[in-house]
Structure 1
Amino acid sequence: MFKKNHILIAAGLLLFSSACSPTKRLSEGEYLLDKNEIHAQGLKVSKDELNEIIRLQPNRKILPWTRFHLHMYNIPSDERLAKARRRKNERLAKKNAERAEKGKPPKGPGKTKWEWLKEVVGEPPVILDTALVRSSTRQLSTYLVKKGYFVNTVRDSIVLRPNKQMATVHYLFDWEPPYRIDSIEVVVEDEKLERLVDAAFKFKHVSPGHRFNVDALSKDRNRLNRIIRDNGYFLFSKEYISYEVDSTQAGRKVDLTLRVENPLAQTEGDTLNHHKRFKIGRVIYRYEGAPETMQDTIVDGGYYFIGTAYYPLKTKVLTQNTFIRPDTYYSQSDVELTYRRLTGLSAMSHLSINIEEYGEYLDVFITLKPARRQSLALETQGTNTGGFLGIEGDLVYRHRNIFRGSETMEIRLNGGLQAQALITESNTSTEDIDADNTRFNTLEFGPSLSFRFPKFLLPIAQESFAKSANPSTLITASYNFQDRPDFTRNLLSTQFGYEWKESATKTHQINPLEISVIQIDNSEEFQARLDELNDQFLSDAYRDHFITASTYTFTYNEQNEPKGKNLFYFNGHAELGGNILRSIYSLSGQEEDSTGAYSIFGIRFSHYVKGQTDVRFYRILDSKRTVATRFAVGVGVPLTNLNVLPFSESFFGGGANGLRAWQARTIGPGGFFEPVVTYDKIGDIIIETNVEYRFNLIDYLDGAFFVDVGNIWLLEPDELRPEGDFAFDRFLSEMAFGVGTGLRIDFNYFLIRFDLAAQFKDPSLAPGERWIFQDKDQYNALIEEYNAGLEPGSTMLRPYNLQLNFNLGIGYPF
């Protein structure tokens, strides 16, 4: 009942803000702009583009029915503001007099709470301004011309509602069919440049038959400018490229002429001057702070290294990451790529690239400033593992240039405390968690050693990849000890892998070899629990494991280079575990045990194949609002050598970054039901969908509403988990459904997240009772039967009530 009251209070606040009149502070004759309506059906221009041009926009809404920020602006009256300011000034004057007696400077006036509410949280009403409306209609008409609608009319119609002091502005569009491109001609005045353009440039965004579009023309203009500048024309700029448009012919067609002009004459008497093409002369490296003397200079095929005694890096590393080649034509793209690659070296703090002309050659001066070579740092952070919070610290030693090739060596000593749910505990709901589950009860520590090389190590040839690949090789080894009330775990792991970028948005990562040795010592109570359950699935999950795996991960992320209102993210991961090791054992004639499995060091090694995808779509409504959606699916198939997935490779539902209405590992698999809440729910399949609407409340505080849908399943039926396996005829009905709201405090460098979610559909309940609004007669009858069988003094289970779950997270969930 308590939680239900909170929901009613929250709903009441929303209704209150909706009920408050948004026009209560307007003067007579003023009208609040309620909305803009765009009437342009059939126009081949998006309404989002047109709406961005309209200068007068209504007050923002966080929900369709309420202008929260305008309501906050309207709450304090002028009298209340004046009264609060007078009292604050009186108190301030008294304090400043005391400060003056002590020789301290006076304090500033600051804001009263009502001024803060109005000026910081609030947003002033957007009042109808007919001059801005007229200006918008002119700009909209001009925009249509740029989109090929040379003959168009944009009118406005303002509808006033005097009883509410509100206005709606209708923008009415009339247009004739757009003009289309009939022919395209390219005219280059410079003969040498003409040959280059003919060979290297083809229109990509416009062609005959396409609608005339200034934005498309501009894109091809920029492409041509880049092609020319990448072929030696250092002094060339896009100002030399222009379009001529002839729209005089019949049939709504235009003839385009793209013209590349020559530069103006350099001296009097000359008529025109041709564009000059440059080659790279010398590439000269020097370190900031090193003496500029040519006496200590190494020359290597056009590369000059000044003051080499001061060089922290091998000269070969510099040339490998420099794509400006002596005696080749200047390329702007190569200069930019060189800058990115050299600044990406861990041994570099920053650099500058300056270019000087001499004759038909360019000297390139690369001035480098090395980063601090070694560092020792203490790092602390909060952690969130499936909704369970903790703290951890790391003592980190880094050497950013261990072998003078910008290789990074990192030695890390990690230690932490975390609150973890006891698997041996059983609860009737998320309200009844034992104190052991909410205090720090898990100790974790261990060292790790890693090396990152800014290149591919054997056997991969770096020349096989694009220059922009930015390759790296990572080698790591680590040991981790974890002491939990249920078990202690020792984990020894090593990894060898490669990473490279195909483009600014595409990243590949291959780990040919990952080895993990996991030793688990179960507590007597936990082992007794496993024995009592007689569950081979769980028993195999909590035993020693030896895992060898090869993995591949591909990531496509448009957030690295946002270019519009729609951003896309994709992550695909494939993993093969134990396949190579089992093949070696099989081919070498090793003896199998009674189950047909092989062992190493007395441990049956894991054997599985696993795949995961994570697809996200971000719709940016405006600078203050975003809709984020995610669809994730994963399947792990245990193979011959071990008939279950390792615990670390299994899927689970719930937690702060998944189904937020459930705690981690408390949901599923499938429609499996047990009357008590346990923290051992894992599966072989996961399907999850999340939708989150994010909006800004004030500068550093954001809000969110979200819906989470999904579940986990087993691949095969399990008599101890009826309806826990995946079946096409029922999996949709077994999708859990959670709804919630949250607050985010954004500190720019990190974000703290508070989410409260309610279980709207629980798939563990019987069909007909799963939704929150359905009766729970069968569930309550099972609870009564369960309670009747308990011994006197045992904790009785409660009838069904609304389940709420609070999550504290670090960063966005996705």
Structure 2
Amino acid sequence: MGGCSATRYLNEDQALVKKVKLKGIDNDLKESASLYVQQEIRPNSWFNLALYNMLNTSNGKYRTGRVRNIGEAPHLLDSSLVDISRREIEKFLVYKGFFNADVKSDIRVKNKKAYITFTAEQGPAFSIRNFTYEIPDTAVRKLYEKHRPSFTKIRSGNRYDIDSAMNEINSTYNLMKENGYYDFLKQYIHINLDSTLYSGRVDLKFQIYNPPGKSAHPVYFINNETTVEIKNSNGRTRNITPDSGIVDSSLYFRDYSHRFRFKPLSRYIFFRYGERYNASRENLTYDRLYELNVFRSIKIDYEKDPDSSSLNVHIDATPLKRMSNRVEGEYTFNSGRNGFNIANTYTNRNLFGGAEQLDVKLRYGILFDSREGRKLLGNVFNRDFQIGVNLIIPRLLVPFNIPSKIGTGIPHTTFSSSMQVFDQPGAFRNRLFINSITYDWLQDKNKLHSLTPVNIEYRDGMLDPAFRDSIRALGYEAYIRTNDRRYFNIGSMYTFTYNANKLNTYGDFFYFRGLADIGGNTLGLFTNIFKFHRDSTGSRTFMGLPYLQYAKTEIDLRYYKYFRGERQLVVRLNPGVVYPYGNTDEIPFERNFYAGGSAGVRAWQARSLGPGNYNRASLKDEETRKNFTYLDQYGEIKLEGNIEYRFKIMNNFIGSKLKGAAFTDFGNVWRLRENKDVGGGEFYFDKFLNQLALGAGAGLRFDLQYFVFRLDVGAKIKDPQFTGSKQWVIKHLFNRDERDAFKDEYSRTNAPDRYRFLQYNFGIGMPF
């Protein structure tokens, strides 16, 4: 694609725009000024242009009919668009205070390639000399004088620019709307500019006019008649007798859906009798009612009382369907193993009439192994059944008094209970029960806190007796201690997330998510006081079961860089560590980290990478390798990283927006302590960089607006299970004889594992 020159498809009188330069513009303004260059004459993205050329050319020319909407059509030189861009850049400089700015354009064409240069003579920057204001309404003038220092950007000596003037207008308008001036219009505000001075300075005069025929702006107050009308989910009220009620002597409810309790809803309606009209309270009411996730539409209207300067508030709300059901499924395949996962989520959005949400989730997955020649359905490799129930209440339920306002948004209390039943016939079975209470609240729109003070967990893991005896005979005692165990755990977790609300937007920003998980400290304290009983292994027990003690932390740090035209670069680093102590020597399987998968190092299947330089050929025989699959490749330390470039390919592809991605991933997991069963798996500072796996690939994202369907293909470049130069497995990928010989040798030493240079990942949603 890189070798296909787009110019060979052009007519003799056409030229492809290859470069646009801006000269003579201050560096702090140049990037903003470049946005005024018309999109049609900006240089193409080479990748999108190559895609367009592949599918829209024939016989050395561009198609004139049946043009496929994929990639990006060539941006051709158009002198009229160049002139429009020149005038817009000049206008931008004038807005920034360069009133005498003059911009010229120069076009150079060579070999059907156009190079455009915009050269500006900015002239002197006009600065503000005097700022005066004229406000005949004394009440409005006092309000403006009191609050202006908190929002103004207009100061004597600063360079004049239109943005500062518009900020003065918009901030004043918002100030009026938040202090009772319901009828106030932006047209009442005007800024006069006097730039006839020869000294390069301007005088500004700020004015707020009175309404026509009036000597002052009227102030409105909220009346004692705020009505809330709730339709049924179909938006109907006819022939339905509503539930009615009054809360706080001023909120009148009529509920035609017969689903809501009025007292809980009143917490999120912020109009109060006798207070001044305030637009921010209206916006806050909108935000909170929508955050409850029970209303499809909300509309707030006002009615003026003809006998007074008061407003009657009317809130019209239409709820969502009370109950919904969502079914999801996926199909997985890798190296002869095929299977599916199917999940069902039932949601009740208003369980007790106060916007409480109940989620019941069921998930069943099964994986078949067809590599032994038997029919697919006749060889189940593993089965996984999960059920979870979450009850989400829109407030913090705590046994002590807390401030009525904690941050922004609606806080939530979540009661959660889940069970997992996992079976890998002939090898391992696991039963896991978890119950927890979690509090979520927003410090501000960008900062989310999540605290789980109580997380109670019971786990019953058991190796198949025959398998356990066989691996004990082979000396793999560590696997028995890790997996063949029952335990009880009481822990606490805290998560802080920054900028999660920006993940589906374009812009330059950092995202951060940090997790702290601590288990067993409370039980450890009681152990020291009451001297709990010890089991045969020497571990203290609670209710007859050993309990865990550990500390775990994980960080997800990302940087999103936006390049115009729905192009974005994402750089991600994801380290983590878990440390057992006190009553615990080995962290159980579920608490450890694994590498690979559709959101990690995508050239490897999940749980098939690492730890360190570990190679499964060290296991004694083929049967042991088969039974240990997914059970031996984990660690207490994790480091993964990703670099992904995202771009749009076409706007409409079978009803979805088609986007592409190119990525590079790296990472691995390690053990904290040396383990003879996992050779090369321990972490050392002087070795871990050489043990990082490296993969690269490309993917497609089908954006259906409500969700994204994703396909990624990752290729292994450097595989740490090998040593020295043999780690660079990418050298075998493009030579068929070498590739086949390498895979045959791997099958001989690592059977039943097969080596795959490429890994396909299907998923719902973005990987990160």
TM-score, length-scaled by structure 1: 0.80
Question: Which residue does the alignment assign to 2:441?
Answer: 500
Question: Which residue does the alignment assign to 2:15?
Answer: 31
Query: Once structures 1 and 2 are overlaid, which stretch shifts more, 454-463 or 530-539?
Result: 530-539
Is 1:319 matched with 2:259? no
Query: Once structures 1 and 2 are overlaid, which stretch shifts more, 699-708 or 583-592?
Result: 583-592
Q: 1:221 aligns with which of 169, 188, 194?
A: 169
Amino acid across the alignment from 1:531: R
Is 1:152 matched with 2:94? no
Looking at structure 1, the residues matched to 208 and 368 of structure 2 have their Cα atoms a distance apart, in angstroms, of 68
Looking at structure 2, the residues matched to 652 and 671 of structure 1 have their Cα atoms a distance apart, in angstroms, of 14
Report if aligned partners of 1:384, 1:809 keep a CA contact under 8 Å in 2. Answer: no
Report if aligned partners of 2:304, 2:312 keep a CA contact under 8 Å in 1. Answer: yes
- After superposition, what is the alpha-carbon deviation per residue over 1:143-188, rounded to whole angstroms, capped at 9, x for unaligned? 1222233343322211111xx3221112223324534445555554
Q: 2:411 aligns with which of 452, 455, 471?
A: 471
Q: 2:459 aligns with which of 518, 522, 537?
A: 518
Looking at structure 2, the residues matched to 752 and 294 of structure 1 have their Cα atoms a distance apart, in angstroms, of 45
Question: Which residue does the alignment assign to 2:115?
Answer: 168
Is 1:710 matched with 2:651? no
Amino acid across the alignment from 1:166: K
Question: Which residue does the alignment assign to 2:52?
Answer: 69
Question: Which residue does the alignment assign to 1:737?
Answer: 694
- After superposition, what is the alpha-carbon deviation per residue over 1:671-723, rounded to whole angstroms, capped at 9, x for unaligned? 44554686421111212211111222233333221101222222334444454
Looking at structure 2, the residues matched to 812 and 306 of structure 1 have their Cα atoms a distance apart, in angstroms, of 42
Question: Which residue does the alignment assign to 2:350?
Answer: 401
Q: 1:53 aligns with which of 37, 43, 58?
A: 37
- Return the offset for 1:205: 6.7
Report if aligned partners of 2:664, 2:696 keep a CA contact under 8 Å in 1. Answer: yes
Gaps of 5+ in 1: 1-13, 82-114, 267-271, 426-431, 777-783
- Return the offset for 1:140: 0.5
Closer/same/farther in 2, CA of residues 195 and 813 from structure 1, 3 Å limit: same
Q: Secondary structure at the match of 2:145?
A: helix
Q: Secondary structure at the match of 1:120?
A: coil
Question: Which residue does the alignment assign to 2:622?
Answer: none
Give 1:58-207 correspondences, 5 Å limit. Answer: 58=42, 60-63=44-47, 67-75=50-58, 116=66, 118-121=67-70, 123-161=72-110, 164-176=111-123, 178-181=125-128, 184-185=131-132, 187-204=134-151, 206=153
Report if aligned partners of 2:44, 2:75 keep a CA contact under 8 Å in 1. Answer: no
Amino acid across the alignment from 2:531: G
Is 1:342 matched with 2:283? no
Report if aligned partners of 1:386, 1:657 keep a CA contact under 8 Å in 2. Answer: no
- Return the offset for 1:21: 4.0
Closer/same/farther in 2, CA of residues 54 and 434 from structure 1, 3 Å limit: farther
- Return the offset for 1:362: 0.8
Amino acid across the alignment from 2:683: F
Closer/same/farther in 2, CA of residues 801 and 49 from structure 1, 3 Å limit: farther
Looking at structure 2, the residues matched to 744 and 442 of structure 1 have their Cα atoms a distance apart, in angstroms, of 30
Is 1:623 matched with 2:565? yes
Closer/same/farther in 2, CA of residues 378 and 686 from structure 1, 3 Å limit: closer
Q: Aligned pairs, how many? A: 734
Question: Which residue does the alignment assign to 2:430?
Answer: 489
RMSD value, Cα: 4.0
Report if aligned partners of 2:532, 2:542 keep a CA contact under 8 Å in 1. Answer: no
Closer/same/farther in 2, CA of residues 55 and 693 from structure 1, 3 Å limit: closer
Q: Secondary structure at the match of 1:264?
A: coil
Looking at structure 2, the residues matched to 349 and 466 of structure 1 have their Cα atoms a distance apart, in angstroms, of 26
Closer/same/farther in 2, CA of residues 633 and 227 from structure 1, 3 Å limit: farther
Looking at structure 1, the residues matched to 310 and 267 of structure 2 have their Cα atoms a distance apart, in angstroms, of 22
Closer/same/farther in 2, CA of residues 667 and 205 from structure 1, 3 Å limit: farther
Closer/same/farther in 2, CA of residues 634 and 385 from structure 1, 3 Å limit: farther
Report if aligned partners of 2:4, 2:50 keep a CA contact under 8 Å in 1. Answer: no
Amino acid across the alignment from 1:454: P
Closer/same/farther in 2, CA of residues 529 and 564 from structure 1, 3 Å limit: same
- Return the offset for 1:470: 0.7
Q: Secondary structure at the match of 1:527?
A: helix
Looking at structure 1, the residues matched to 5 and 40 of structure 2 have their Cα atoms a distance apart, in angstroms, of 21
Closer/same/farther in 2, CA of residues 529 and 659 from structure 1, 3 Å limit: farther
- Return the offset for 1:139: 0.6
Question: Which residue does the alignment assign to 1:748?
Answer: 705
Looking at structure 2, the residues matched to 562 and 229 of structure 1 have their Cα atoms a distance apart, in angstroms, of 31
Gaps of 5+ in 2: 619-624, 734-740
Looking at structure 1, the residues matched to 200 and 47 of structure 2 have their Cα atoms a distance apart, in angstroms, of 45
Amino acid across the alignment from 2:532: Q
Q: 2:496 aligns with which of 520, 543, 554?
A: 554
Query: Once structures 1 and 2 are overlaid, which stretch shifts more, 495-504 or 23-32?
Result: 23-32
- Return the offset for 1:59: 6.0
- After superposition, what is the alpha-carbon deviation per residue over 1:511-531, rounded to whole angstroms, capped at 9, x for unaligned? 111112111122246424642
Looking at structure 1, the residues matched to 541 and 349 of structure 2 have their Cα atoms a distance apart, in angstroms, of 40
Looking at structure 1, the residues matched to 353 and 436 of structure 2 have their Cα atoms a distance apart, in angstroms, of 23
Looking at structure 2, the residues matched to 349 and 617 of structure 1 have their Cα atoms a distance apart, in angstroms, of 34
Closer/same/farther in 2, CA of residues 616 and 182 from structure 1, 3 Å limit: farther
Query: Once structures 1 and 2 are overlaid, which stretch shifts more, 667-676 or 709-718?
Result: 667-676
Question: Which residue does the alignment assign to 1:611?
Answer: 553
Question: Which residue does the alignment assign to 2:450?
Answer: 509
Looking at structure 1, the residues matched to 208 and 400 of structure 2 have their Cα atoms a distance apart, in angstroms, of 44
Q: Secondary structure at the match of 2:91?
A: helix
Looking at structure 2, the residues matched to 448 and 211 of structure 1 have their Cα atoms a distance apart, in angstroms, of 60
